[in-house]
Structures are given as structure tokens and as C-alpha cells.
A and B are shown apart, each in its own frame.
Chain A
Amino acid sequence: MYKESSNQKLVQDTLAEFSQQAEIITLSGSWLWSTINEKNFNSKLSQIKHSKLVTVNGINIDKIDTTGIYFIIRLIEYLKKNNIQLTKLELNSSDSKLYERLSTQSSTPTSKQPADNSKLLARFGRSLVDGFKISLSLISFFGLFCFNLIRFIKSPLHLDWREVSRSINDAGLKGLWVACLLSFLLGITLAYQMAPQFTTYGANVYIVNFLGIAMLKEVSPLMTAVIVAGRTGAAITAEIGTRKVQEEIDALQTMGISTMQRIVLPKVLGVMIAVPLITSVADMASMLGGAIVSNSSLGVNYSLFLSRMQSYVSINNYTCGLIKSIAFAFIVALVGCFCGLRVKGNANSIGEATTKSVVSGIILIVVIDAIFGIIFKALGV
């Protein structure tokens, strides 16, 4: 930017100056936004000697623009304030026309200050109320979704199945590798960290039981859901938000088409189909990672690992993880859609909504996970 530019070869214009001789204030130089130094102007202003009558001579001004005129207006207002009578303002004919045009407009603006929300307690209260309102509207959104789900179950052919398959592709196939890689690495890490504990007690083979419960029931579904929240949740919010800004959502409404049926339902269903599938593959990847470490540092070879898994790791662990992953997928997609539809018409709010969607998606996932933990414990699975 010019402010920081030291090379001023393009600024050949001289600086704006004014000087006072007895009763004449002479303006000289260029009075442009690029050549006026406000500090200099102010200090010169305070040096003006207070005589009764003053003439302002602006004939010698090289160039002037509206900013320059503004400063001349300021000079004259200063004179008025200090009871110095202006006898004459001399300007070139074209400059004086501009001066007249602008000086009739000039009056200091009566700008209203926005409501004071700097008070800490007030801000806290407001954000609490906002949070409460958002939770309420999320619940009503959930209700509306359930209502539409029933309509879908009554006539499943009305749904845009191509949209569903696109959603499965976006959320599932494209996120598969990331989810698998992460689960695989977590399997390796977890087994590797636990290995010394198991060898201490000579309970090497129990690594299989441990991995079976930890990975299948907890880590894989959670990690996959977090990845989906980051990838797909954000994408859903951004897409719907953009459509909202471009009034596509309003257009749908004017055609009498339900946004829920057309946009929300296919996305949520697609994600709910895709996530359990990725979770299953991620389960396999994590067990593979665990098996590799068990083989190399615990002396549990692959065939032992597999047979042990078959007899000691209950299938319930896998089904619990799968049920959880479906719930996670539902939450992520629903929150994504909800945040997207709440976007207001400017570019900033899309970014805000996307952030909110991912953060609240992940928080809700962990909360739901805890609730599931309690339920499964109570059920004894």
C-alpha cells in the first residue's frame, strides 16, 4: 500500500502548505489526498495569529481534489470558531465551483453509536440467550426433519435418490482413505503403547481383547465421525450457505418444494448410509494395525490373533460401534444442514457458519458418545 511505500517517484506533486502574512493566508502546493499531511496541517492551524480580518488566498494552489477542498473547509471553520472574520476566499474559478458544491454539503455527521455491548455481564447474558435460542431452533429443526422422514417413509420414491448417491460418494468414498489411514495408525499406536503393560503381566494375548473393545467400540467410530464432521459437515454447510446467499433456497420455496425434502433429507440419508460403511472399513484397518504390532513386538502371530478375536471379541462391540456411527452421522449431517440454512446474506457468515457447524458437530458427537456409553453399560453389552 501507498502508506508504506518509500519509493515515491510517482508523487511529483509538492506538499500542501499554507502560510500567514499579516492578514493574508496563502495556500500553495498541491492539495490532494496524497500530499496533505494532517499533522502538519493541524499544527499550522494552531499557529494562525488571531487578527480580526483574514483573507484566504488559494490562487497559487497547483492541484486540488475534494479532499483538498475538505481541508480548506476545515480551515475556514477553524477561523469561524475563533471569531476571525473571513473577508475573502480567493480560488481559481474551477476550484471555487467545486468548493461551493462541497461546502453547501458540509456539516459534521450526526452518527449514531451502536448499542453499547461492552459490558461483560451483558455480553455473557446475551450469548447465553443466543445459545439457548439456537438450541431451541435446532430442536425444532430436528422435529421438522422427523416429520419429513415420516413423509419419506410413506413414499420413498419421491426422494431425489441421485442426490443421495452423490452424498454417499462425497462423504463415503472420498473420505474413506483418510479414515482408514488414521484408524490404522491409531491401531498401531495404541497396541504399541499398551504392549509393555501386557508383557509385564505375561498377558500378551489379551492385547486382542483390548484392541477389540477399544477400537471397534470406541476409537474407530469416533475418529471416523470426527473426520466426517470436518470434511462433510463443513462441505454441507458451505454448500447450503452459498445456495442460501444466491437465493436458491428461496427459489425452491417459491416453487412450493420443501427444502427439507429436496436438500436436507438426501444429504442426511446419504451421510447416514456412508458413515457406517467407512467405519466398518476403518475397523478393519485399525485391527490390521494392531495385529502388525502384536506380531512384531508381542509375539502374538496373525493366526493366533485371528482365532483369539473370533472367540473372545464379541460381535456386540462391532454392532455397538456401528449403531453409534449411524447416530454420529445423523448429528453431523443435521448440524451441517442447520448451520447452512442459518446463513445470512453475506460472505462472512458462510465462514462463521462452517466453523460453527464443525465445532458443534464434534462437541455433539462426544456428548452422544458418552450417552451411548451409559446406555450400553445399562444394557450390559
Chain B
Amino acid sequence: MKDNNAPIIEVKNLGTAFEGFWVHKNLNLTIYPNRIITIIGASGCGKTTLVREILMLQPIAEGEILLNGEEISRYNIEDADTKLVLSKIGMMFQQGALFSSLTVLQNVMFPLVEYTNFSEATIKEIATLKLKLTGLPESAYSKFPKEISPGMQKRVALARTLVLDPKVVFLDEPTAGLDPNSASDFDELISNLQKQLGLTVIMITHDLDSIWSISDEIVYLGEKKVLFHDTVIKAANYKEIPQLYDYFNGPRGRLTKQAHLEQKNGGVQ
């Protein structure tokens, strides 16, 4: 972690309104590169909305969003240049959002076919390379998304997200709906890829195991803004915000916390 790096994403005084109701108001968030950040908060507090706004899927009411120091929130979405900026951000949707009419390999090839002039053989090989990075067995490449397991679908979705080498990757509930083994494998995959490719990973999750095992920082959303932004261990012991404290120290949270703290201390106690 290098704190002296320039921030990769800055959200300044963001306001979002849905039919006269403020979802975010004066929200400020600064994200530095090369780490895994988890956004948490109660259901309906606008986590996904915030991510969608950074991805320019949703217009904002006030404030600004900067990517690499460039204000992106006012860009015209149809502009070719905007698309290029957007290719620096990748998003993995909760359900994978794989194109159901394309095979796994074609899904991963798709962005390259759209964006580059490489020959088809080259694109196929690059896509294969990415799929291999995510550890997907080769027998699945020519199958359709419906024909493979949800765990594999997530891997394909991740490969497709990574195919244009984004600097920032958003993951919406990456481990939701996976069995514990697949979930921890996927956590490991995210953590490895983050280190190898130098990514900034921003994830939304409710999976306490994921948070403890791979997350570097916690962003807690509440009362329409960011209430807390620091390391996981500090978040778990922060008592000023009762909801946040309960999040990590409730009946479920306590068990996970203990397990991970013991693991970190190498079972000394």
C-alpha cells in the first residue's frame, strides 16, 4: 500500500435524488490505487447506486466524480472518448450479466472485438489467456453461460471484466450465491489478481469472510454519506457508530472476527 500515490477515484459532495428523496447528500470519498476496498452499509443505503454513478450508469444530481483527476460525471456517455475512459473501469455485476446468446469464450472476446483491430485468432488467444488467469477449466470455454455453474459464471464475468485491463474493478456481491469453498476460492482469486495486475478493487459485499480475508479498507455508508473509511480491524473496533460496531460484532460478525483474528495471530493464544 502506497498512500503517497495520487487518488484514483475522488467523489466530491455527491448528491443523488430519487423523486425528491435524497439517497446521497454531500458524500465524499477518496480511493487510492492498488488495494481492495469494501463498501458496506445497510440494505438500501445506496451502495449500488454509488457504484453505478461512478460507472456513469446513472446521472448525478450534484457534486462531481473524478477518475484519475479527470471529471467524468459530466461526460457525454455516447462519446467515443467517454467509452475509452470507461474501459479503464470494469464492473462485475451481481448476476454476472453474461450475454446469454454467446459462448463463454465469445463473451470474453466481445470487448476486444469491439475495441481493437486485432485479428480473430489473436483475440481468441488473449481471451483464453484471461480465462486461464481466472482458473476456468478449458472444457467450459465453448459452453453457453446457462450451462455452467454459478461459480464458473462468476469467473467468466471476472475474465470479461479484466479483458481490457481496467485499472479499477467494481465487484457487486462477488461471492453471493456461491458455496463456501467456491466463495473462498473466488476471494483468493480476487486477491491474487489484484496483486498481480495492480488493480484497485472496489467491492460491495455482505460476506464477512470476504471482508476479513481479502479487504484492505472498509467504507461504511450511512446517513446519506460515508461515515467511516479505514482498515478492517479499525472498523471492527470502532464504537462511535453502533450499526457499524454491530455489523462486525453482532452474533454472526463476532464468530468471523474471532476466527480471523486467531488466524492472523498464527494461533498463538
Contact = CB atoms under 8 A, between A and B. Distances in A.
A106 B129 contact: yes
Interface in B19-52: none
A34 B129 contact: no
Contacts of B196: 97-98, 101
Contact of B128 (A38, A97, A109): A109
Contacts of A66: 126, 129-130, 133, 162, 165, 197
B141 A111 contact: yes
Nearest to A346: B100
Nearest to B192: A101
B124 interface: yes
Nearest to B196: A101
Nearest to B88: A10
A111 B164 CA distance: 22
A94 B84 contact: no
Interface in A1-24: 1-5, 7, 9-11
B215 to A, nearest CB: 22
A254 interface: no
Contacts of A125: none
Nearest to B98: A346
A314 B72 CA distance: 74
B5 interface: no
A36 B164 CA distance: 13
Given A3-B114, A33-B165, A111 B129 contact: no
A109 B132 CA distance: 10
A347 B80 contact: no
A81 B144 CA distance: 35
A2 B87 CA distance: 10
Contacts of B84: 2, 5, 10-11, 34
B133 A2 contact: no
A283 B119 CA distance: 62
Interface residues of B, number: 36
A7 B80 contact: yes
A65 B101 CA distance: 29
B156 to A, nearest CB: 15
B112 to A, nearest CB: 7
Contacts, number: 91
A67 B133 contact: no
B98 to A, nearest CB: 10
Interface string A47-71: 0000000000000000001110010
B160 to A, nearest CB: 13
B22 to A, nearest CB: 33
Contacts of A10: 81, 84-85
Contacts of A117: none
B260 interface: no
A9 B128 CA distance: 31
Contacts of A110: 138
Given A7-B81, A33-B164, A94-B198, A109 B125 contact: yes
Given A32-B165, A37-B117, A348-B100, A2 B126 contact: no
A349 to B, nearest CB: 9
A93 interface: no
B61 to A, nearest CB: 26
B149 interface: no
Interface in B111-125: 112, 114-119, 122, 124-125
Most buried by A among B80, B87, B141, B197: B80
A112 B112 contact: no
B252 interface: no
Contacts of B133: 66, 101-102, 105
Contact of A108 (B105, B125, B142): B125
Contacts of A105: 129, 132-133
A192 B89 CA distance: 65
13 contacts: A2-B87, A5-B80, A11-B84, A32-B165, A33-B116, A33-B164, A65-B165, A66-B129, A66-B165, A66-B197, A106-B129, A346-B146, A347-B100
Interface of B: 80-81, 83-85, 87, 100-101, 105, 112, 114-119, 122, 124-126, 128-130, 132-133, 138, 141-142, 144, 146, 162, 164-165, 196-198
Given A2-B84, A65-B165, A348-B100, 5 more contacts: A2-B80, A3-B115, A5-B81, A5-B84, A111-B142
